[in-house]
Amino acid sequence: MTAPIGDQTIVEGGDLVMALSAEPDRLDPTTSSSLYTRYVMQTMCQKLYDIDENGEIVPQLATDLPEVSEDGLTVSIPVRDDAVFADGTPFNAEAVAQTIDRGLNLEGSSRKSELGPIESITAVDATTVEVTYAEPFAPLTAALADRAGMILSPAALAANGEAFGDSPVCVGPFKFAERIPQTSITVERDPLYYDAENVHLDTITYRIITDSNIRAANLRSGDVQVADTISTQDVDGLMAEEGINVLQAGSLGFQGLTINVGNTDGVGAAPGVIDTPLATDTTVRRALAMSIDRESLVQSVFGGWYEPACSPISPASPFSTDASEACPEYDPEAAKALLEEAGVEMPYKFTMQVSNNPDTIRFAQALQASVTEGGFEMEIQPVEYSTLLDVQDRGDFETIQLGWSGRVDPHGNMFNRLSTSTSNNYMGYSNLEVDELLIQAAEANDIAERSELYGQAVTQIQEDNPIIYLYRLRNLTAHTTNVAGIETFADGVVHLSNAAFVETE
């Protein structure tokens, strides 16, 4: 999972180049939805909390874990007194309060449903933020270990408003330097950073290279030093190559087949009516789920490097239960019988939009063959990744194959995606029973109680199938051995903040 510097000799300075497998969306933590944005923002925008290599939440811009009142309604967060934003604005509790408020109230915010039923946010003093809730909300700390906890410069917000993402300003080891659309993003060392002595690189350039074969070739040539999402077809060869190392981390996220059951007016709007059997009839969606042989697909397409998934909760999660690990049976004959019961013409035809990278298209083609056995005929429509995110937001799809990089708390994998009219509910899904179970789980503090509630929610979700969960990635990140200090954890983010070039023989 990590390539530690250890006792290697650091070569100070230099420009590290990382190959990104897709282009990030806007560099605004409040509105972004792309994993690749998280890669870039991680170096520029520190969070109140982070996760470590064991998946534990640890303070970053906060100085300790939150203190929660006995009734669970008041949360006190202590923050640093030695940090400065990249534009020279002092970091303090007021800036924290303003950022959280923006996550709650900015139109188009993707963070609102992650933060829970907040009633007020107050800067008690320069180093203490107090958050008051209408109901207890256990997932707050985990939310603040991701984009909701990236604190933004008040001066930059005042100057740029909704255009903040064009030139973001935060507290971090690096600061924004340049973006060339569809080509690269560059960040440079920030001399104002409170721990600047442990930052070794001059700049990091994130180069957009969507083709996995070209990413691997650039690693071999030394034109890039780090590359994310190594193809399972390349990983064995790269692991055997002198001068290249491959980091591996399991995933808290999932890849799934998202079905548009009601997203007629854009994500977050009230669900509408889509008059197709796939959108309206759970029997048809259940038949589709039963037509997918996850085990065979993962083995044949990914050589066993990835794992089948049937749930938004990873088996490695402390919240995992038998209910959340249950998997729909693969039974294509029973799937055909369900389609007959639903009274639809076979083969039932539908279209799936996918990212146009080689690995995803290979999986889509294998999935296409699999569902044929169950009485379906699937058309594959490849789309450029950033366009696919827009398509997902607008609801301009029948089905779409995209993933989620995962969060340490199941709330981050479920509530904002599966509760009615939330910010990442791209399906337009609405089930009041699921809504209530997810609210109850967020209000409980006992892990066993929360796990039971999440398991009940998964059972209902598998009845409705607005998302058919398919597989879980292994995060594969390759780097040249003249670079160290790289980390990759189960949240899917590659950490380069303390990376450095090192002397090699």
> pLDDT (tens digit, 9 = 90+) per residue, 24-50?
999 999 999 888 999 999 999 999 999
Q: Which residues of 22-56 are buried (b: 16+ CB within 10 A; e: fewer)?
A: bbbbbbbbbbbbbbbbbbbbbbbbbbbbbbeeebe
> pLDDT (tens digit, 9 = 90+) per residue, 467-489?
999 999 999 999 999 999 999 98
> pLDDT (tens digit, 9 = 90+) per residue, 396-428?
999 999 999 888 899 999 999 999 999 899 999
Quick check: helix, strand or coil at residue 216? helix
Please, which pLDDT band fits residue 178 given cuts at 50, 70 and 90? very high
Biggest distance spanned by C-alpha atoms of the chain: 69
Neighbours of 501 (CB within 10 A): 22
Q: What is the CA radius of gyration of the chain?
A: 23
Q: Which two tokens stand for residue 479?
A: 């780097």
Q: How far apart are CA 180 and CA 219, in angstroms?
A: 21
Compute the CA torsion angle 228, 231, 232, 233 (nearest 10 deg).
-150
Q: How far is CA 172 from CA 85, 167, 272, 332, in A?
A: 8, 14, 42, 52
Please, which pLDDT band fits residue 101 given cuts at 50, 70 and 90? very high
**Neighbour-count burial of 148, counting CB atoms closer than 10 A to its CB (0-12 exposed, 13-18 middle, 19+ buried):** buried
Tell me whether the omega of the peptide bond preceding residue 347 falls within 30 degrees of 0, making it cis. yes
Quick check: helix, strand or coil at residue 53? coil
At 53 the pLDDT is 82
Compute the CA torsion angle 309, 310, 313, 319 (nearest 10 deg).
-110
> Are the C-beta atoms of 329 and 319 separated by less than 8 Å?
no
- Helix residue ranges, H only, 419-446: 432-443
pLDDT of 386 higher than 90: no
Question: What does DSSP say about strands 15-20 and 203-208: parallel, antiparallel, or unpaired?
Answer: parallel
In terms of pLDDT, which residue wins out, 232 or 489? 232
At 250 the pLDDT is 86
